[in-house]
Amino acid sequence: MMTAPAACTCTTELMPTWGDLHRQRVRWYKGMLDNLREYGVTRVTLRYIGQQLMIGTGIITIALLLALTGLALTSGTFTVRPFWLVIG
């Protein structure tokens, strides 16, 4: 078991701009994807691979929703249904 010295401290550096924060998050995300590629499918990585698959599914679902909404708007068939507003 590893332990840290009692005097050991941890600090968080805040990003001064939104751009810096975005670059940091992209760097972390790319590093995570690199690690998943390097280690492959294991008991430990299976959860994270599943998370990435669900993120991809969500992106495709939102893109499809936007495309179909645009199609309904341009074809004049768009209607607001209270049931789907509650579900949404």
Per-residue pLDDT reduced to its tens digit, 21-47: 999 999 999 999 999 999 999 999 999
pLDDT(84) > 90: no
Asked if 36 and 48 count as a contact pair (C-beta separation under 8 A), the reply is yes
Q: How far is 11 from 85, CA to CA, in rounded Å?
A: 44
Residues 41-69 have pLDDT tens digits of: 999 999 999 999 999 999 999 999 999 99
Joined tokens for residue 26: 């992209």
pLDDT (0 to 100) of residue 75:
97
> What pTM does this model have?
0.67
